């Protein structure tokens, strides 16, 4: 009748600086751990990496393949992680909530010459506001694009009161 609450293994909780909100065992004896301010990959022996949420552009959960593709800001190919469980408890929803929580304001517009520009104001773990301008699709570099990027960034900074 009552579902038993599972606890993260002690090596998982000791690898991060905050209480884990969600975690999942991955292939290769690895664990993905989500906290309020960071996402981390750990094994029983070592912390592989720990990164703040503002470095995550987005994630894509595939329930059929039980994979989470993490798209990092500025990195073209996603990091694909395979969970041991088919439906890891709270992981996909918590991942999305934490990425969304880091976004203060965003605006997109077509880039001159093709593609799309997306400017985002995000909150760092230190509670500082930062801006990121991302190109989606093929954009044509040059002075016109640089001017468009500068104007878009100025607009989102102004909208966020920076």
Q: What is the pLDDT of residues 28-86, one digit of tens each?
A: 999 999 999 999 999 988 999 999 999 999 999 999 999 999 999 989 899 999 999 87
Same domain, 80 and 149: no
CA-nearest of 129, 134, 6 to 72 is: 134
Domain that holds residue 146: 103-159
pTM: 0.87
Task: Read off the tokens for 153.
Answer: 């960034």
CATH code of residue 21 = 2.30.29.30
Same domain, 96 and 127: no
Phi, psi of 84 (to 5 degrees): -70, -45
**Weakest mean pLDDT among 7-21, 97-111, 112-126:** 7-21
Helix (H/G/I), strand (E/B), else coil: 73? coil
Q: What pLDDT does 12 receive?
A: 87
In the chain, the number of structural domains is: 2
Any idea what the Cα angle at residue 136 is, between residues 78 and 41, rounded to 5°?
20
Q: What is the pLDDT of residues 117-132, one digit of tens each?
A: 999 999 999 999 999 9
d(CA 105, CA 92): 22
Same domain, 107 and 97: no
Same domain, 130 and 77: no
CA-nearest of 135, 110, 133 to 120 is: 133
Same domain, 121 and 44: no
Q: Which of residues 101, 120, 146 is at a domain's end? A: 101
Same domain, 42 and 113: no
Phi, psi of 76 (to 5 degrees): -65, -40
């Amino acid at each position: 009748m009552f579902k038993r609450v599972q606890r993260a293994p002690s090596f998982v909780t000791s690898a991060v600086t905050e209480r884990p909100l969600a975690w999942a065992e991955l292939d290769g004896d690895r664990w993905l751990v989500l906290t309020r301010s960071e996402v981390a990959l750990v094994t029983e022996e070592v912390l592989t990496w720990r990164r703040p949420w503002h470095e995550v552009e987005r994630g894509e959960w595939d329930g059929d393949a039980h994979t989470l593709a993490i798209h990092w800001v500025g990195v073209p190919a996603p990091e694909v992680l395979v969970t041991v469980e088919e439906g890891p408890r709270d992981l996909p929803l918590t991942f999305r909530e934490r990425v969304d929580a880091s976004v203060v304001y965003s605006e997109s517009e077509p880039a001159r010459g093709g593609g799309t520009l997306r400017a985002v104001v995000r909150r760092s773990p230190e509670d500082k506001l930062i801006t990121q301008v991302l190109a989606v699709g093929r954009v044509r570099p040059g002075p016109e694009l640089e001017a468009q990027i500068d104007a878009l960034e100025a607009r989102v900074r102004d909208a966020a009161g920076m």
